[in-house]
Structure 1
């Protein structure tokens, strides 16, 4: 498995953000309301990031040869979970950035101010999830073999 490239993550965030901005603009123009963002959204993303970090620590212990309850199959699953979280983190960051941009158009309204705050908090949590996922992906890499003969 190859590491997730920054170009893929940037492209995902930009495309999702642009599509979300266009869709949310059309939806707001037709209905007059914005899609609500729950105040707990940032908390859910932060909990996922913490769980991924804890799982990644166990994988890191396994790759360093220290004692752990992690086996190789579960370590592979954690690596795939980290890859999925990096892509989801990029997509959610773009989406919540679009939400903030929509709410920023009339930030003086109290409802839109709260919307911008919760969207911004969720966007920061999604960015934190992205960073944690990239760190865990790095921890899941196996050290190179010390085989002097080419395969």
Structure 2
């Protein structure tokens, strides 16, 4: 049985990924390298994944409630795994983009860094949306408790 993703796990994942990314990017920058660009399409892709996950999660919710749906039990299990993977990867990517924002914020008056901070900030917000949707879908994928006397 799959356990729901805890908020502590997501927070720890984001903090560790952010700290590692911050350290690596700071070293890169100190050696004359530029920050890794964050294209605006990154946030759009993450939001698209959140929308698809939400639509799939609604189908699972209908299945669990016994309503008419094309979702199968195997498909529901796959959606649950996608939700868990999305929450963890969204958390890790959120830490990475937060590190990007912090590094760019140090010299926010430079136009290129201001633009970088905005694009990384947009991607960070998209990561937060993805994690929120993933947690909701994980909740929807829970099976109702079994009643006494009924076989599993």
Q: Aligned partners of 1:148, 1:108: CA distance in 2, in Å?
A: 68
1:148 Cα shift?
5.1
Unaligned runs of 5+ in 1: none
What does residue 60 of structure 2 align with? 59
1:33 Cα shift?
1.2
Q: Deviations over 1:61-105 (max 9, x none)?
A: 000000000000000000000000000111011000000000001
Q: Which moved more, 1:99-108 or 1:31-40?
A: 31-40
What does residue 105 of structure 1 align with? 106
1:7 Cα shift?
1.0
What does residue 81 of structure 1 align with? 82
TM-score normalised by structure 2 residue count: 0.96
Q: Deviations over 1:95-137 (max 9, x none)?
A: 0000000000100000000000000000000000000000000
1:31 Cα shift?
2.4
1:72 equivalent to 2:76? Answer: no
The alignment's C-alpha RMSD in Å is: 1.2
**Which runs of structure 1 show a deviation greater than 4 angstroms over 4 or more consecutive aligned residues?**
none
1:32 Cα shift?
3.6
Q: Aligned partners of 2:75, 2:21: CA distance in 1, in Å?
A: 35
Number of residue equivalences: 150
1:34 equivalent to 2:24? Answer: no
Unaligned runs of 5+ in 2: none
Q: Aligned partners of 1:74, 1:147: CA distance in 2, in Å?
A: 27
What does residue 123 of structure 2 align with? 122
What does residue 146 of structure 2 align with? 145
Q: Aligned partners of 1:115, 1:39: CA distance in 2, in Å?
A: 10
What does residue 136 of structure 2 align with? 135
Q: Aligned partners of 1:11, 1:3: CA distance in 2, in Å?
A: 15
Tell me the secondary structure at the aligned position of residue 4 of structure 2: coil
